[in-house]
Amino acid sequence: MKRWLSSFLVLVLIAVIGIVVFVSSGLYRIGAATPHWPLTESLLHTLRERSIERHAQGVAVPPLDERQMVLKGAAAYDEMCVVCHLAPGMQPTPVHTGLYPQPPKLAEHGIEPKTAFWVVKHGIKMTGMPAWGETHGDEELWNIVAFLDKLPEMSPQEYQDIVAQASSAGGGHGHGTSGHTHGAAAGQGQGSAPASGNRQQHPQE
């Protein structure tokens, strides 16, 4: 038994040393243009999905059908999220294409509200998804979730219309205390990548 335990500890030590040497060597390609190994990708995907599922369980979802919530969420989405997660009929932007893993196209599939809220609030490590809860209140985040709940049902024209309504209703969104906005306009970027001179791009979204 002692011999087996000693052999096991030696193997563990060798494995730890090997990992330390590999990490320190710089051989691993950290660039986003090089995908993870399939095993690494599978492990990270499982870790991410299980973690989100577990931590979102306790989220209490408020009513999301109030029109003003959806309008405010539309304005926030068009300013904060569309450059990465796109809009109905919108072609991938350079930011969306360059991120790894690529952000989901939220106009193409629904996302459970409590899951959406948790992810929007806390972000996801190693994906480029920011923790908007660090700079935005829960009310603002639920507005975005209310909009996301309607987004997969929208046509490109309906998306453009609701963003225009939000803009005319003064739904523009400030960041923190600086009053900074992304300069999104009604339907801006619709059907194509947003012009860099008109929309400030945020690779971390």
Is the confidence at residue 59, as pLDDT, over 60? Answer: yes
Query: For residue 139, what are its two tokens?
Result: 């009310």
DSSP-based three-state secondary structure for 175: strand
Q: What is the mean pLDDT of residues 94-106?
A: 96
Nearest Cα to Cα of residue 189 among 94, 117, 90: 90
Q: What is the mean pLDDT of residues 115-142?
A: 97
CB under 8 A, 24+ apart: contacts of 57-66: 57/114, 59/114, 59/117, 59/118, 60/114, 61/113, 61/114, 61/117, 62/142, 64/113, 64/142, 64/145, 64/146, 64/149, 65/146, 66/146
Nearest Cα to Cα of residue 79 among 6, 163, 1: 163
At 3 the pLDDT is 82
Distance of CA 108 to the CA centre of its chain: 15
pLDDT, the chain, mean: 85
The per-residue pLDDT for range 29-54, each reduced to its tens digit, is 889 999 999 999 999 999 999 999 99
Map out the domains of the chain with their CATH numbers: 66-168 (1.10.760.10)
pTM over 0.95: no
At 5 the pLDDT is 86
Residue carrying the six token digits 């972000």:
123
The per-residue pLDDT for range 143-199, each reduced to its tens digit, is 999 999 999 999 999 999 999 999 888 755 544 333 333 333 333 444 333 333 333
Q: What is the mean pLDDT of residues 45-73?
A: 96
Is the confidence at residue 78, as pLDDT, over 60? Answer: yes
b/e code 101-125 from CB counts within 10 Å (16+ = b): bebebbbeeebbbbbbbbbbbbbbe
DSSP letter (8 states) at residue 191: T
Q: Round to whole Å and give the CA distance between 44 and 51.
A: 10
Confidence of residue 2 (pLDDT cuts 50, 70, 90): confident
